[in-house]
Amino acid sequence: MDRRTFLKTNGALTAGAALFPASLLAGEAKKANGKKFPQSLVPRMDGNVKEFKLNIDIYQQEIVPSMKIHTLAFNNQVPGPEIRVKKGDNIRVIFKNKTDLNHTIHWHGMHVPWRMDGVPYVTQMPVMPGQEFVYEFVAEPYGTHFYHCHWGALLHIQAGMYGSFIMEDPDDPIKKKFPYEREYTLIYSAHDTNFIRKELNIMLNRMKERMFLMKNGRFDKERFGVFDSKEELEEAISNGYQPPYVANRRAPSDLPQPNWFTVNGKSYPYTPNLYIREGENIRVRLINAGGEEHHLHLHGHDFWLVCDDGLPIPQPWQMNTLSLGAGKTYDIIIEGKNRGIWTFHDHDNRRVTNNGLYPGGNLLALIYEDLPMMERMLSPMAGMKMKGMKMNMLPKIALDE
């Protein structure tokens, strides 16, 4: 092996070796990885309408082994299933609320009729426990979008109520410029698991009390902060009613301080991997459904930024670190130009931790499937050639530094 090859080999390995072992190239690992991306929801055709069913229920999500939290999950999945349609399709989504809380669905980045926009007390009444609401709209515009709950958003979204919504174009402008076969959806979120647990319980109790009082005709609007009009609220205030934002104040420490950072509902070492081959382009759809900004950095490559909030960028440009703010979607193209195992992660290092411990959070790997066997086998440990040791001495999962 000449010096150049040696450096190239070791360079490629040390970048990802400690965290992402070569065993991830095994067929079994790749099969398991496929399940870590949102699965597309299959519509029922009703004439020329694509009809989807989304229900919301409480569901236990395993973020990493031995870390389960109660979530609000669409169709028992966090994130919710992916809705993938053609631009211009007629869409119907039948939303059924199976929880004891109120919800709505907002179609983020989509041009739906305003009555379908999913903002409670602005465009619709909240969908109450046991109720159903039907959303109907034409799929516009092209690109990477998402849906999420708009009731009690601070809790409900980080508790799991989000999912990708992809509008395809048979004449895809990105595919024309950067021909690709494979694409991946990555949905980022940040969760304060203590906040979720506490607030879910408080909300469930409040709703229980509210339903009981409504049933008995003793529902007190002021007590629950519900008014039919702005005038009614103003009248209540002039009579001494104090809205909750005046009567109560949350200490900064009561606001969520995220301690778990997920991609597609999982944290490292359970995050999905991106597989690529030398010479291949892959498209990655990045969605930030959480409340934090993520500074996503890819090792060993400059990727192309091709869409911003679903909109194709006329002159794509290259970078290796992209700031994905709350509510943003970006599409990037990664060109397979540097074989190896590479990390793709938030460069705000708080977000590559689980409960404050590195490594964790939204760390994930870009893995070349065509990494030569010699490079797969090589590792800093293998170089020691210790008796009785196998060549591939990399740990399967490294949880400590």
Binding site for Cu ion (CB under 5 A): 103, 149, 151, 156, 161
Quick one: 161 or 174, whose CB is closer to Cu ion? 161
Closest by Cα among 68, 50, 47 to 59 = 68
DSSP 368-390: ETT--HHHHH--TTGGG--TT--
Cβ atoms of 260 and 361 within 8 Å: the answer is yes
Q: What is the largest CA-CA distance in the chain?
A: 85
Shortest distance (Å) from residue 206 CB to Cu ion = 14
Quick one: 41 or 56, whose CB is closer to Cu ion? 56
- Two structure tokens written together for 66: 């031995």
The 10 Å Cβ neighbour count of residue 147 is 26
Cβ atoms of 95 and 149 within 8 Å: the answer is no
Shortest distance (Å) from residue 32 CB to Cu ion = 30
Shortest distance (Å) from residue 207 CB to Cu ion = 11
Quick one: 20 or 165, whose CB is closer to Cu ion? 165
Quick one: 290 or 310, whose CB is closer to Cu ion? 290
Quick one: 157 or 364, whose CB is closer to Cu ion? 157
Cβ atoms of 274 and 180 within 8 Å: the answer is no
Cβ atoms of 156 and 103 within 8 Å: the answer is yes
Shortest distance (Å) from residue 129 CB to Cu ion = 11
Closest by Cα among 288, 290, 305, 280 to 366 = 280
The number of helix segments (H) and strand segments (E) in the chain equals: 9, 20
Helix (H, G, I), strand (E, B) or coil at 132: strand
Quick one: 149 or 289, whose CB is closer to Cu ion? 149
Shortest distance (Å) from residue 151 CB to Cu ion = 5
Quick one: 99 or 273, whose CB is closer to Cu ion? 99
In angstroms, the Cα distances linking 95 to 53, 92, 382 are 6, 9, 55
Quick one: 149 or 332, whose CB is closer to Cu ion? 149
Name the amino acid, one letter, at 108. Answer: H
**CA–CA separation, 355 vs 299, rounded Å?**
24
Shortest distance (Å) from residue 80 CB to Cu ion = 11
Shortest distance (Å) from residue 58 CB to Cu ion = 11
Quick one: 152 or 300, whose CB is closer to Cu ion? 152
Shortest distance (Å) from residue 72 CB to Cu ion = 6
Quick one: 147 or 275, whose CB is closer to Cu ion? 147
Shortest distance (Å) from residue 265 CB to Cu ion = 16
The 10 Å Cβ neighbour count of residue 80 is 30
Quick one: 156 or 339, whose CB is closer to Cu ion? 156
**CA–CA separation, 318 vs 333, rounded Å?**
9
Q: Convert 223-251 into a string of H (helix), E (strand) and C (coil).
A: HHCCCCCHHHHHHHHHCCCCCHHHHCCCC
**CA–CA separation, 262 vs 18, rounded Å?**
20
Name the amino acid, one letter, at 247. Answer: A
Question: Where are any strands of DSSP class E within 41-97?
Answer: 44-46, 49-64, 67-74, 83-86, 90-97
**CA–CA separation, 141 vs 310, rounded Å?**
8
